[in-house]
Chain A
Amino acid sequence: MEDIRNAILEFAEKSKKSKFYFSDMEKAVKKVIPDVKARMVKKAATSLINEEKLIYFSTGSTTMYGLKGKGQTEDH
């Protein structure tokens, strides 16, 4: 679990965009940990959300993830 969390955070920090889709995050984790299951990536991402390291960004129809503190973070 910890290695998945680290891979997510590394991807989120390096990513050029401040918001990204779940599947892009999953692909990035797969590069580091090839046999990882989507469900595990989701669990790890949820734990990072609960620790307020990641945030959800939603338009209402789709949801993206982002690193807390990167890009737009508060109300505009």
Chain B
Amino acid sequence: MAFEPNEPQEKIKYDEMRIYSDEELNNYTEEELKNFKTKHDTPMCDDLESGPWPSFVADAKREALHRRKLADDRILLSAETVEDTLGQLEDSFVDGETHWKHGGIVGVFGYGGGVIGRYSDLQEKYPAVAHFHTLRVNQPMSKFYNTDFLRTICDLWEYRGSGMMNMHGSTGDIILLGTTTEQLEPIFYQMTHEMQQDLGGSGSNLRSPSCCLGRARCEWSCIDTQDMCYELTHYYQDELHRPAFPYKFKFKFDGCPNGCVASIARSDMSFIGTWKDDIRIDQDAVQAYIAGDIAPNGGAHAGKDWGKFDIQKEVINLCPTACMWMEDGKLMIDNKECTRCMHCINTMPQALRPGADTGVSILFGAKAPILEGAQMAVLTVPFMKCEPPYENIKDLVEKVWDWWMEEGKNRERLGELIQRWGLPKFLEVIGLPPMPQMVTEPRSNPYIFWKAEEVPGGFKRNIEDYRVKHMR
């Protein structure tokens, strides 16, 4: 199905939007960069450049030189934003603590998220970063954008911000690092009115939903992750921009259990594409893999000679539920035992494909708080159909939010609330019967307390009689 935007979209043309000329964009030589000394001595930052990977410190120095060489009236913030950032970072390494002060009232009109107030606590030493607010920009679905868009954003941020950005924050947003309060509204205006680009979520909001490449690029996608993410982002605009939750809330959409956006670990409500019928098998292609005519894993891991492909060793014996075997030269799968681990499909993509009757599994409660440690999401809805306009999904979302807003303590994530009340209570809230698939392993969460009306014939029991002998 072709993509249809909710409102007409204009094509952004960098040549019409650009602020800087080519000469300004390429305003220093590699020779100048080599000899460039930043304003502050930063030996510990410099050390980060010595590792095998490209370093943000090297990028920052390029940007620092670039800003120095732009004319004063071609940037609205100080030319030294980047150098002061590095200087302050060096002090943080030395002191073992951050020098950013958190929080504030900064924001754009009517939005309770998207801008995060940050101030230096070393303002005299680093005046260029005294006020250094972060903006979150809601990334397009699957982060598909063209260079016209990116260059326009970069020019805008060079002109009205520090010039430093982060592609992307772990929520998915493009992070614009550091500007002053008076630049916020002009940036917001240009993004929304001229680039049709919204800010993302922060604070006690729905955070910018994010999704994997999905059907745009990946044949395994069991759901249209981009469409779903786009629809829910638009549908829940109020939740994205006007905070009233106990804490943050994240949606993420993986098209299949490979989980390329790791929704299972990083979202309060994780959607993972799955199938209800059987893995589709092309037995001729299975034979071609066995004969060595097709490279396993799509030709990945080819840097080393692993020997001849051995289907028994590399696929059948590695199936976590031992539900595959060969019979009369044919690959067989006992599909009701398959846990959708994707291993066999990943290894032999031309022979095996996910089933055709697709939908989502929905998991709840992942979080990664700094103090208490990470928690993975719990499988709660083993299978749900998932078609536009996703009414069934929205119903579920709203049941969950109503409960969490009612019962959640301040700064309590959904996963913590589910733990505090127990999974049976959560199932009652969303109206699902308990199912074996919800049990991670025997004896980890087996306690389902039945009520009389849930048992055929009910039961008669006087709790008072019981308490005579068994006091609390």
Contact = CB atoms under 8 A, between A and B. Distances in A.
A22 B204 contact: yes
B367 to A, nearest CB: 12
Nearest to B411: A62
Interface in A41-76: 41-42, 45-46, 49-50, 55-63, 66, 72-76
Give the 10 A-B CB pairs with smallest separation, nearest first.
A63-B203, A63-B243, A60-B116, A59-B103, A58-B203, A56-B112, A63-B204, A42-B244, A21-B410, A22-B244
Given A38-B244, A58-B202, A60-B102, 16 more contacts: A38-B406, A41-B244, A49-B110, A50-B110, A56-B107, A58-B203, A60-B116, A60-B202, A61-B202, A62-B203, A62-B247, A63-B113, A63-B202, A73-B105, A75-B105, A75-B131
Contact of B134 (A23, A50, A60, A76): A60
B128 to A, nearest CB: 16
21 contacts: A21-B246, A22-B246, A23-B405, A23-B410, A24-B410, A38-B402, A41-B244, A42-B244, A49-B112, A56-B243, A58-B113, A58-B117, A58-B243, A62-B247, A63-B113, A63-B205, A63-B243, A66-B105, A73-B105, A75-B104, A75-B105
Nearest to B402: A38
A60 to B, nearest CB: 4
Most chain-A CB neighbours within 10 Å: which of B101, B409, B410? B410
Interface of A: 21-24, 38, 41-42, 45-46, 49-50, 55-63, 66, 72-76
Contact of A62 (B101, B117, B204, B238): B204
A62 B205 CA distance: 8
Contacts of B248: 61-62
A76 B103 CA distance: 10
A59 B105 contact: no
Interface string B225-258: 0000000000000100011111110000000000
A46 B237 CA distance: 13
A58 B116 contact: yes
Contacts of A63: 112-113, 202-205, 243
A57 B243 contact: no
A56 B405 CA distance: 18
